[in-house]
Structure 1
Amino acid sequence: MSHSLLNRGEDPVSFENGLLRLEVTSKEVIADNVISLTLRHPLGEALPAWTPGAHVDVHVAGADGEELVRQYSLCSDPANRSVYRLGILREPASRGGSSYLHEQLQVGQQLDVSAPRNNFELREAPRYLFIAGGIGITPIIPLLEQAERNGAEWALHYGGRTRTAMAFAEEFERYGDRINLIPQDEQGFIDLAGILATPDPDTLVYCCGPGPLMDATEALTAAWPATALHMERFVNEVEANQSGDQAFQVELSLMGRTITVEPGVSVLNAVNAVGANVPHSCQEGTCGTCETIVLEGEPDHRDAVLSEEEREENEVMMVCVSRCKTPCLVLEL
């Protein structure tokens, strides 16, 4: 499955170094520590098309002046290509990204933003179960709206610390009892065990939120069909003990050369050092920009993008963090 840029070559807007410079047209506090940003092209041109579940990379200034790249889900209407809307939580341990957007960014300023990417697309199914925690609601909004347009059955379980911390909650009122809002201080945690107790081959589960919520959802859907669960993580929580990393060979099939990737060096940096020019962004295994086709060999997947099914297929890998379980990888580079 490809997680490539959406319609990059079909859009009239111009990219500079792979980025669009967009104007902030509105900035609004919509929940505790959550703002909504609306972005548009300075000349009013149509923005690159996207599908529900997509995110963009936003380039902002870090606390020490370095440029940071942060991924934020699009939560506007894909049919309206005049604007992008983002929901942004102020992270308690922010290194400058979210704190800059919350505290310093002003309406009228411009931000460098990538074309949309989608690692969280809505697959066709008769029924959907959406589970969201906190700011994880942002990619769920257009997903459930697409499910509604498709005429599918669906339900949303949306948890937050308090009602005032639950962004966009008012937008769901029109859906009635298909929405289950669960403020933790009033009702406790989402009853995942009850919700996921009975595997249903006709239901797909879409989950986004804090790591513990997604970990629990993953564990409780272990008995469900392998393709039932779909998650969007923006923090790579894959544990990798790099002390045991070994050197391995990478053959670049299109360039006709083989290189050695040493311990402590990423595949991304190694192949780009010899001119492969693999595009990249987060370098943390969360955005999917560096996805590369694997022709031979078995990758050691350490990303937070691919599903377990996609990892087992071994058709692609994220070369910024993943390595190799076999002596050699052959990549389509």
Structure 2
Amino acid sequence: MDLSTPPPDLYGRPRADTFFRFLTAFGDRYSPALGGPLLRRNPRRPFSRPTEALQLVVTARRRVAADVVELTLADPSGGPLPGWQPGAHLRLTLPSGRERHYSLCGDPADPADQADPAGSAERSGYRIAVRRLPDGGGGSAEIHDTLHPGTRLTARRPRNGFAFCAEPAVLFLAGGIGITPLLPMVREARRNGLDWHLVHTGRSADTLPFAAELRALDPARVHLRTDDEHGGPPTGTELLAHAPRGAAVYCCGPAPMLTAVQRALDASPAASLHFERFGAAPVTDGEPFTVRLGADGPELPVPADRSALDVLREARPDLPYSCKQGFCGTCEVRLLAGAPDHRDRRLTPERRADGALLPCVSRAAAGETLVLDL
């Protein structure tokens, strides 16, 4: 990674200069039409076309920790795959039709993973690691039980919502399977000679994926910390004590870990925090409202501390979902009536006006009823 350039966008494309990106967006929105109304789009910019789904096959499978399997995915014909950057994830469509997001945990700069070691931006394989969740939505169990070498599935191109900015000093904090997006970042930091440290926490040694692989990177900079050896989970202060002065912190783990780190950040040597959650953030500012299934269907109360998606799935268990964080769009439903509070990061104003709604994060004012086409 060239440290003089900003991190790429969600699809791995280099980001444009901030000023010119703003200038382009301003021109696209406000270009006048010779005395007429404002244009809705810049006519010089071509319409974007949706990218085709990737066809993948499982080529290898191995156990990397208790209840964690690593899969290697490749093009069935042996062709190259789109490149990616540390922090990127794949949106997989499993054989059952479920869609789930999994972080890429390989090395995008490893010549062994490249179709062209001389500098191609494409790879011949992706690596993901998945922990079985007994109380999950079935995606992890399906992967553990049915995905073996030879299994076919599809995926969207890698996207990156957790980009690594390669600051000079970095602390990586991983909780259990949260090591998956951080492992490529650690390799990148090591390759570029950054001042980095990693703390990987878990219940016990056998629950820590890639422990041997991490130790091999630099035993002096890798700290494996287990609850059973230390009498419980670490505090945020304990975790951040490993940060170099002025470091950027990259954290991925369970909600209690993220909360502890956020609360201890101001009193720590670290200067900034980047994080990725395992799932949806807890609802802390919600109001109770109601969703109705169809114009004449049943009404379901949504408590202040629960999402509409969770309530809807109790009545419609087959309702699809994936990220639960408002960026993938899998759970999209159509709004027939009501005034929603859109909180997603995916839908455009035009799509919202047309009735699209993501119930995983969107809510409504107290006492409001949202009528959904379900």
TM-score (norm 1): 0.69
Cα distance, 1:44–1:77 mapped onto 2, change above 3 Å: same
Which residue of 8, 11, 21 maps to 1:5? 11
Matches within 5 A, 1:1-333: 4-7=10-13, 18-61=52-95, 67-79=97-109, 80=113, 81-174=123-216, 175-187=218-230, 188-196=232-240, 202-222=246-266, 228-239=272-283, 241=286, 243=288, 282=322, 284-285=324-325, 287=327, 302=343, 320=358, 321-322=361-362
Cα distance between partner residues in 1 of 2:177 and 2:63: 13
**Alpha-carbon displacement from aligned partner over 1:22-50 (angstroms, at most 9, x marks no partner):** 01001111110000000000111111110
SS at match of 2:98: strand
Higher relative contact order (CA 8 A, sep 6+): 1
Q: Is the contact made by 1:234 and 1:287 (CA closer than 8 Å) also made in structure 2? A: no
| One-letter code aligned to 1:70 | R
* Structure having the larger proportion of residues in strand: 1
Q: Is the contact made by 1:131 and 1:207 (CA closer than 8 Å) also made in structure 2? A: yes
Cα distance, 1:183–1:146 mapped onto 2, change above 3 Å: same
Cα distance between partner residues in 2 of 1:323 and 1:235: 17
Cα distance, 1:127–1:301 mapped onto 2, change above 3 Å: farther
* 1:82 Cα deviation after fit: 0.7
Cα distance between partner residues in 2 of 1:169 and 1:59: 29
* 1:304 Cα deviation after fit: 9.0
Give aligned pairs, total: 264
Report the structure number with the largest CA radius of gyration: 2
| One-letter code aligned to 1:134 | G
SS at match of 1:177: coil
Cα distance, 1:123–1:245 mapped onto 2, change above 3 Å: farther
Cα distance, 1:31–1:226 mapped onto 2, change above 3 Å: closer
For structure 2, the residue ranges without an aligned partner over 5 or more in a row are 1-6, 15-48, 114-122, 292-301, 303-319, 331-339, 347-355, 366-374
| One-letter code aligned to 1:284 | K
* 1:285 Cα deviation after fit: 2.0
Q: Is the contact made by 1:119 and 1:288 (CA closer than 8 Å) also made in structure 2? A: no
* 1:202 Cα deviation after fit: 2.6
TM-score (norm 2): 0.62
> What's the RMSD between the two structures over aligned residues?
3.6
Identity of aligned residues (%): 37
Q: Is the contact made by 2:87 and 2:162 (CA closer than 8 Å) also made in structure 1? A: yes
Cα distance between partner residues in 1 of 2:265 and 2:240: 7
* 1:300 Cα deviation after fit: 6.2
Cα distance between partner residues in 2 of 1:209 and 1:281: 21
In structure 1, the partner of 2:18 is none
Cα distance, 1:301–1:152 mapped onto 2, change above 3 Å: farther
Q: Is the contact made by 1:238 and 1:303 (CA closer than 8 Å) also made in structure 2? A: no
